[in-house]
Structure 1
Amino acid sequence: MEQKIKYSFLSEPIRIDKYLVQQLTDDYNFSRTYIQKIIEQKKVKVNEEVVNSKYILQPNDTIEVLIPEPEKLDTLPEDIDFDIIYEDNDILVINKPNGLVVHPAPGNLSGTLVNGLLFRIKNLSSINGVLRPGIVHRIDKNTNGLLIVAKTDNAHKVLVKMLGENKIYKEYIALVHGVVESNKGLIDAPIGRHRTDRKKMAVTEVNSKRAITKFEVLKRFTKHSLLKCVIDTGRTHQIRVHLSYINHPVLGDSLYSYKEDSKIEYGQYLHAHKLVFNHPITNKKLEFVSEIPDEFNVRINMIEN
C-alpha cells in the first residue's frame, strides 16, 4: 500500500528536490536517488498540483509525497554476524559491530546488516522500500553499538515520530583528539551537506537543519579525552561533525579528523552506548546498554601507558 506524507513549507524558497532530500533522508532514510525517482513518477504534489524537481517552494506551500508500494526485494539473505539483544513481535534492538554497513545501496546489495536481518528475521517493516526493510535509524559503518529495527509498519511509523519528537534517548561514547577543557557542553550548530564534498556533512547555514549535541567529559588523557555524547537530533554524521567543529575530532575518523587518522584500521572510536525509549506499541519503558568494545579499551590503555 502506498503511504502519503504531508509537509507545510515555511522556510526560504528552495527547490523541491533539495527540500525533500533534507526531510526524507533524515526522517525516513530514503536515498537521494530514490527521492528523485518519486518526483519523476509524479508522486509529489505542491498545493495539489504535480511538480517536477525544479519547482521552487514558497512559504505556505503544502507538499504531498506519495511513497510507492515497495517493489519486489532483490536484496538476498546472508548469514551476517551481529547480536540481537532484544526482540518481540514489533521491534528488535541489535548491537551492530564495527565495519558493518547498515543497508545496501544500488550496485552493492550484499554484506550489510539488512542482508543479515533478512537471513534471521521473517518479517520486517516495508516502509523504507526494498533496500532498507526495518531500518528506522542508522549508525555509520565504523560506528558500533545499539540500533532499533522495526518488524511491523505500525511500529516503524511510531518510532520515526518518536525520533522526530526527541523521545528516544541516544547516548554515545567517543574518544577524541585533544583535552576538552569544559566538563560539560552543548553544541547547537546546524548541519547540512558540504558545499564541495558530497560525502561529507558540515556546520552550515545553507540548506541545513538544526542539530544539538550535548557532551560530558568522562576522562582526560595527555592528548585525548573520553566523552559521553547525547544527541537531541539525528542528523547524518552529527556527532562526528560537531566534535570536529569544536576542534576535538573523533579519533580514527577518516572524514572529519586529521589525515593520519585514516591509517587507523579500526575506524572512528564512536560507540552507540545506550538507548532509552517507550515501546512503540505497548508504551513500556525500555532501556538498553552496550558496553564499550574491547578495541576501545585497548586503545584507551595505549593512550594511558
Structure 2
Amino acid sequence: MSDHRSLHVPDGLEGERVDAALARLFGLSRGRAADIIASGDVQVDGRQVSKSDRVTAGAWLEVTLPPPPAAPVAIPEPVPGMSIVHEDDDIVVVNKPIGVAAHPTTGWTGPTVIGGLLGTGHTVATSGAAERQGIVHRLDANTTGCMVVAKSEIAYSRLKHAFHDREITKRYHALVQGHPDPFRGTVDAPIDRHPSGSGKFAVIMGGKPSITHYDTIEAFRAATLLDINLETGRTHQIRVHMSALKHPCVGDMMYGADPTIAARLGLTRQWLHAVKLGFVHPTTDEYVEFTSPYPDDLQKALDIVGAES
C-alpha cells in the first residue's frame, strides 16, 4: 500500500538535490529516491521536480512512497569454491570466492555466503534483518578472502559491537597501478555514495569518516603490491581511497583502472584480497586470527607483473 507524506523541507536540507533530500528524509537509497521522482510521485510547492533540482528550506514537499520491496531471501545452496577456514559453536570463518555476495540484496541474483552456509547444513544467528542473519561485516561480491559469520546470538551481538568499535584486525593486499608516493601512508577522507546514483562511492565532503593505512610490500615496474590495514569499514573503502590517490586497484574499472592492463593480466575484477582477519573470540575471550591465500586469478596476475619487472 502506498504511503503519502507531506512536510516542510527542514533547514538542514537547504540547497540539497531532491534525490539526496528524499534519501535522507525517508532512509532511501539515492537510486530508489530517483525512481520515485521519475515516476512523478514527488512535488515541491505543488510542482513536479527532477532528481537534480535543488530544494529550499521551508518548501512544501509531497511524496507518495511506494510499498517497500519484499526483502530478498537467501537461497540455501552450496557455493562452489567457498571453503570453511574455522568453525565452532559460535562462529564460522569462510574463505569467500569471487562472485559471491555476503547476503542477498535487491537486484543480486548470484550466490551468497549465507545461502552457501545454509545449503551445506550450517546454522547462523537469527539476529539482524531476515536477509542478512549472522552477517557482522561484508566483503564486496568480487573481493575474496576471510569473512566471519556469527552462529550464536551472543556472537552476533559481540562481533557487531567489535566491528563498530574498530576492535577488529582487517588486513588486505591490493595490487594498485603505478607507485604511491609516499610508499607508506594513511588516507583519511570521508566516503559517501557518488552523486550520480550509479552505485559507486566517492570521497565526499560530509561523508562518513573513513581511514585507510597502507604500506608497500613490493614495487613492480608498473604496479605496487600494498598491505592495507582498515581502521574503518566503509563500502568500497579501499577501492575508493586508492582511486582517490590516482592508483586504483588493478582491474577495478569501476574506479578508473586501465582495462588494457587488466586484460593483459587476465583479470575480470579488482586485485583485492582479505588476507587476514583477527578478533577477540566472542565466547572464549581469546584473540584469534585467520588467513587466506591468494586465489588463482590474483596469483596469476601477480606472477605476470613480477615476470615483467
The answer for the alignment partner of 1:148 in structure 2 is 148
Q: Which runs of 5+ in 1 are unaligned?
A: 1-11, 26-30, 34-55, 57-70
Please list, as runs of the form range in 1=range in 2, the aligned pairs for 1:135-214 lying within 5 A after superposition.
135-206=135-206, 208-214=207-213
Structure ID, larger Rg: 2
d(CA) in 2 for partners of 1:32, 1:163: 27
Q: What whole-Å deviation, never above 9, does each CA across 1:176-214 have from its counterpart, x for those lacking one?
A: 0002232310000000111113310100113x1100000
Is 1:221 equivalent to 2:220 in the alignment? yes
Deviation at 1:266, TM superposition (A): 3.0
SS of structure 2 residue aligned to 1:131 = helix
The answer for the alignment partner of 1:266 in structure 2 is 268
Q: Is the 8 A contact 2:74 2:112 kept in 1?
A: no
**Which amino acid counterpart does residue 190 of structure 1 have in structure 2?**
P
Q: What whole-Å deviation, never above 9, does each CA across 1:158-183 have from its counterpart, x for those lacking one?
A: 11111111100100000000022323
**Which amino acid counterpart does residue 87 of structure 1 have in structure 2?**
E
d(CA) in 2 for partners of 1:197, 1:91: 35
The answer for the alignment partner of 2:35 in structure 1 is none
Q: Is the 8 A contact 1:184 1:216 kept in 2?
A: yes
Deviation at 1:130, TM superposition (A): 2.2
TM-score between the two structures when normalised by the length of structure 2: 0.73
Deviation at 1:103, TM superposition (A): 1.4
d(CA) in 2 for partners of 1:191, 1:117: 31
Distance 1:233 1:73, change over 3 A: closer
Aligned-pair Cα RMSD in Å: 2.8
Deviation at 1:281, TM superposition (A): 1.9
d(CA) in 2 for partners of 1:188, 1:289: 26
**Which amino acid counterpart does residue 141 of structure 1 have in structure 2?**
A
The answer for the alignment partner of 1:237 in structure 2 is 236
SS of structure 2 residue aligned to 1:255 = helix
The answer for the alignment partner of 2:297 in structure 1 is 295
Q: What whole-Å deviation, never above 9, does each CA across 1:41-93 have from its counterpart, x for those lacking one?
A: xxxxxxxxxxxxxxx9xxxxxxxxxxxxxx99943310212111111111111
Please list, as runs of the form range in 1=range in 2, the aligned pairs for 1:11-26 lying within 5 A after superposition.
13=12, 18=24
Distance 1:109 1:250, change over 3 A: closer
Please list, as runs of the form range in 1=range in 2, the aligned pairs for 1:56-67 lying within 5 A after superposition.
none
Taking only the aligned residue pairs, the percentage that are identical comes to 35
Q: Is the 8 A contact 2:189 2:203 kept in 1?
A: yes
**Which amino acid counterpart does residue 165 of structure 1 have in structure 2?**
D
Q: How many aligned positions are there?
A: 251
